Chains A and B, each alone.
Chain A
């Protein structure tokens, strides 16, 4: 049964159905010259609706290289820039490489939007032959962005080799060459991995960093030795930190993560003592349990310098697996510096989510650490970090410190951080209400007070 519907809706339905159905693709049938001329006339005309219809027809119908060439080389240069952008997109949609010469000409347009549109179309239609044109425009701004996106998307077996060759082109700015690494990585081109590894130890810091970033995305255990060389080549500071992050990314992702971590440890073992010293923080940060024996030996060494290296490495461990070692060392040491380092590490690792401990264990570790603290600074840090363990027991742990003036402000911050968790707050309303009222009584920080007031009113988010 055909169901009758209100006239306006029915009219629209019929019109839409008509719009959708009257334009079948006519690939096999030769397209009409009259229709092509009509479409070109509408493209050049002033009516945007009609232009849209014509562009759609030119994109989906009227096939043939002759039409494509005429559009790209005769019509395209004669229309205004905004229409050029649309017509270029239409040409890309025709999927006809006959448009390429015209599009390459338009890429030299002084209008950035037109150039960017041409690059997008070239990405859809072109291949290795257009790589030099796109590489030459890498730099800054929207045209560079479009060239970069085009180089990521453009197809062809000869694209990546040309990009790899461009990395060695000294006439290109280092930033552009670095960008090519990113492009190769985004193309997921594993053939470029040896190049990344080679450049990871290059003289140019920008290229080194770009190569390490690319390896972070594509590298695996086999690339770890090369990445370790890159890490060692990087001077201490931001570049080495970034290199460490790149290696950690390889060691943290995928089914080969354990093998990658083992490769880091193998590189450490194969290194000379001086290099090992540089690598030790990285080894510790990777957190391979097999590395603990090395760190334990260093910590137990009679040489204070060796012990300091071991303790520093321990302080970089990524999770709570070393908590018992830390507590044990803390109980034994009489050195203030060591105490600060060990307590600081415990404060850092105890509340980390997914650190291998349950909420209760994390809180118990934090409470144990609190007992070992000798300064209010450390106690204050604990009170603020406690908010990361989102349980009512944590609230009960923090609240007594609201009565200790040196700790009250930090305890108040810990309370409001917990109170931000609406479900936790609502499930334990009387306790949170009492705690937040106490926060208002002791806290001076306006942000803390405002948050406490808001949570007391049952508002988690500030609505303006």
Chain B
């Protein structure tokens, strides 16, 4: 059923004034319009424009989160700038990433990559998480610079490289210097890379990683984790040897 954009004026006015605890049923026409927009390019463009405008307005956090959720369903490159502007906002960064992770447009990935260098702490971990989720190999050099020391960011960067699991990521991981939890994350990421290599048929490369990790933990690891890593390596070696 076609939806007249004019019929959404009142719901969008309600959204502009919406906050937690308010009557969410006033937003139901927007929900219905988002569903209908999948078969109506004109409506989709209109909705995207209106929702992006909410992000740049003085609307409440609740209203902006709502807009992010809806944009995650219908958004395109056109609304990337509005979402990118929120990536540095501690209160809205995660919802902006929530939307951008689902965007197929390369501009969304580019925005996340750019934000990686401009945020700190937990927000950096968020960008790493989103870039890994989008399997963005182009961000590997930037991620590589973060895998150092014993910080939560370093561990998250290692984990992101493990999720990317490319030969390039494996090379980066082989050369990093970390300690503590970050070092453990690097080992896990290297195992993930090796596993991906086995699946891709690069068994010699995978075997080299398994052998290196196995050698690093030694023949008689005394910790549960050490034993688990050694067992994972042996299982990986079997997979790399067979076939």
Contact = CB atoms under 8 A, between A and B. Distances in A.
Does B bind A? yes
Interface of A: 1-4, 7-8, 10-12, 14-15, 17-19, 21-24, 26, 29-32, 34-35, 38-39, 42, 47, 49-50, 52-54, 56-57, 61-62
Interface in B132-189: 132-133, 152, 155-156, 159, 162-163, 181-182, 184-185, 187-189
Contact of B235 (A1, A26, A53): A53
B239 interface: yes
B72 to A, nearest CB: 9
Given A10-B155, A11-B225, A29 B132 contact: no
Given A14-B191, A15-B191, A53 B185 contact: no
Interface stretch (B6-14, B27-35, B93-101): B93-101
A7 B228 contact: no
Given A2-B163, A34-B241, A57-B235, 14 more contacts: A1-B130, A11-B185, A11-B225, A12-B228, A14-B192, A18-B195, A22-B195, A22-B198, A23-B238, A38-B241, A42-B234, A47-B220, A49-B230, A52-B231
B232 A50 contact: no
Nearest to B152: A7
B86 interface: no
19 contacts: A1-B97, A1-B101, A10-B155, A10-B188, A11-B185, A11-B188, A14-B162, A18-B195, A19-B232, A22-B198, A22-B232, A22-B238, A24-B239, A35-B242, A38-B237, A52-B231, A54-B234, A56-B235, A62-B242
A1 B93 CA distance: 12
Given A2-B132, A14-B191, A61 B242 contact: yes
Nearest to B100: A1
B188 to A, nearest CB: 3
A39 B238 contact: yes
Contacts of A32: 241-243
Interface residues of B, number: 47
B125 interface: yes
A359 to B, nearest CB: 53
Contact of A50 (B163, B194, B234): B234
Contact of B129 (A1, A34, A62): A1
B179 to A, nearest CB: 12
Contacts of A50: 230-231, 234
Contact of A7 (B132, B155, B192): B155
Nearest to A11: B184
A300 B53 CA distance: 101
A30 B236 CA distance: 18
Contacts of B16: none
Which residue among B101, B126, B231 has the maximum number of chain A CB atoms within 10 Å of its CB? B231
A49 B227 CA distance: 8
Interface string B212-233: 0000000110000101111110
Given A7-B185, A10-B188, A22-B232, A2 B241 contact: no
A22 B229 contact: no
B242 A14 contact: no
Contacts of A12: 225, 228
A3 to B, nearest CB: 7
Given A1-B97, A4-B129, A18 B236 contact: yes
A2 B230 CA distance: 27
B185 A22 contact: no
Nearest to A39: B238
B235 to A, nearest CB: 5
Contacts of A2: 129-130, 132-133, 163
A56 B185 CA distance: 26
Interface string B93-121: 01001100100000000000000000000
A112 to B, nearest CB: 31
Contacts of A22: 194-195, 198, 232, 235-236, 238-239
